[in-house]
Amino acid sequence: MPTRKPARPEFSSGPCPKRPGWSAETVAAKAWLGRSHRAAGPKAQLKEAIDRIGALLGVPKGYRVGIVPASDTGAFEMAMWSMLGARPVDMLVWESFGAGWASDAMKQLKLDDCRVIEAGYGELPDLSQVRADADVCFTQNGTTSGARIPDFDWIAADREGLTFVDATSAVFAQDVDWAKVDVLTFSWQKVMGGEGAHGVLILSPRAVERLESFDAGRPLPKIFRLTKGGKLIEGIFEGATINTPSMLAVADCIDALDWIDEIGGMPATRARADANFAALQAWVDASDWARNLVADPAARSNTSVCLKIVDPDIAALDDAGQKAFTKAMVKLLERHEAAFDINGYRDAPAGLRIWCGATVDAADVEALTPWLDWAFAEAKAAL
């Protein structure tokens, strides 16, 4: 059994670990508790979060940044329900969240000309199949498969359709080519390590034009409505949220932004994620029982890293047996407080999923790897 444990054994892929040095007292001191979110101070703090997110991510002038309900899911769904249907749609699927968006497009929105371009876990679909005249919806980083797009070059510069990017486990860790993005969504609880329940929706001028010129003819619940009288509801992008936000969660977002500013902005958070991934992948490369689920190095996530077990005895088990084995490993690690919440996603192939985003320290990743070897040996001996 290893003697050194990670100082912070939280490696969950969502909600993700808090920033180094985080404290509830620091966040509470910044929070407008017991106040209306419509009051001047709280509304100004919401606008501060919007402005600082836009600045740190390098969002171009003319794009709108807003805080919306229901995390990344709410942000992406409200964009789909408000804008899809004006032209053909290509849905890119290679993990569970992309599959969910595709299911909604086909079964709930019932779009007429909607193609699903699919690949298995650990792979990417053929991006060259995307039609320039179609809207395209995809996850920048497949949180549940560990596969990310290597770049945005496959998106036509002269595209007619809009791009809808679910970037919830990518922002602040991977670059965004804003010239190729029309709608981008994410949530605070991923790379920022913030609290859940709130989403961020970023719209290009082309997306705003779509919203103001296209009527899908479908009923929209209040929390999905982005226009009124055919015009964008600008208040959403100025701190006037659709429904009541948690001002404690907003303060936690501000705290995360303060930390990102202090360490050097997005270049620093991206570098931290890269260093964490490099530490884990170096161990994987030397392992005789674990491999990255993503075979192509260019498509490997630097945040939600998914591992498969290739030991012949374990690989010979059926899916239920392999999942029972990884569950046994995870229980051992949790019992000894060496790692929490690293089992693979329920719909993904059996394996481990280890968060390597910016709020994780590389030293903790390095301390984790001997524990992975120990837990594997212990679980295998118990078979």
SS (H, E, C) 239-296: CCCCCCCCHHHHHHHHHHHHHHHHHCCHHHHHHHHHHHHHHHHHHHHHCCCEEECCCC
Q: Are residues 321 and 251 part of one domain?
A: no
Q: What digits encode the pLDDT tens for the residues 254-294?
A: 999 999 999 999 999 999 999 999 999 999 999 999 999 99
Number of neighbouring beta carbons within 10 Å of residue 310: 13
Contact in structure between 9 and 339 (CB atoms under 8 Å): yes
Q: Is residue 1 part of a domain?
A: no
What pLDDT shows up at residue 346? 92
364 residue type, one letter: D
Number of neighbouring beta carbons within 10 Å of residue 238: 16
Q: Is residue 15 part of a domain?
A: no
Beta-bridge partner residues of 291:
308
* Separation CA 126–CA 111 (nearest Å): 22
Q: Are residues 204 and 310 part of one domain?
A: no
| Residue 286 φ/ψ, nearest 5 degrees | -95, -5
Q: Is residue 16 part of a domain?
A: no
* Separation CA 141–CA 307 (nearest Å): 15
Joined together, the tokens standing for residue 69 give 């309900």
Q: Are residues 343 and 201 part of one domain?
A: no
Q: Is residue 2 part of a domain?
A: no
- Give me the number of domains the chain comprises: 2
Q: How far is CA 205 from CA 43, 59, 65, 184, in A?
A: 24, 12, 11, 13
Mean pLDDT of all residues in the chain? 97
Joined together, the tokens standing for residue 256 give 């995360």
* Separation CA 23–CA 193 (nearest Å): 12
* Boundary residue ending a domain (261, 283, 303): 261
Q: Are residues 278 and 333 part of one domain?
A: yes
Q: Are residues 176 and 61 part of one domain?
A: yes
Q: Are residues 256 and 273 part of one domain?
A: no
Q: What digits encode the pLDDT tens for the residues 10-27?
A: 999 999 999 999 999 999
Q: pLDDT band at residue 54, thresholds of 50, 70 and 90?
A: very high
* Separation CA 338–CA 334 (nearest Å): 6
| Residue 246 φ/ψ, nearest 5 degrees | -80, 115
* Single pTM value for the model: 0.98
Q: What digits encode the pLDDT tens for the residues 98-135?
A: 999 999 999 999 999 999 999 999 999 999 999 999 99
Q: Is residue 114 part of a domain?
A: yes
Q: Is residue 188 part of a domain?
A: yes
Q: What digits encode the pLDDT tens for the residues 128-186?
A: 999 999 999 999 999 999 999 999 999 999 999 999 999 999 999 999 999 999 999 99
Which residue range forms the structural domain that includes residue 279? Answer: 265-381
The residues, ordered by sequence, that sit 6+ positions from 251 with a Cβ below 8 Å of its Cβ are 27, 28, 30, 31, 32, 45
Q: What digits encode the pLDDT tens for the residues 332-368?
A: 999 999 999 999 999 999 999 999 999 999 999 999 9
* Boundary residue ending a domain (242, 261, 280): 261
22 residue type, one letter: W
* Separation CA 289–CA 309 (nearest Å): 6
CATH number at 122 reads: 3.40.640.10
Q: What digits encode the pLDDT tens for the residues 27-36?
A: 999 999 999 9
SS3 at position 8: coil
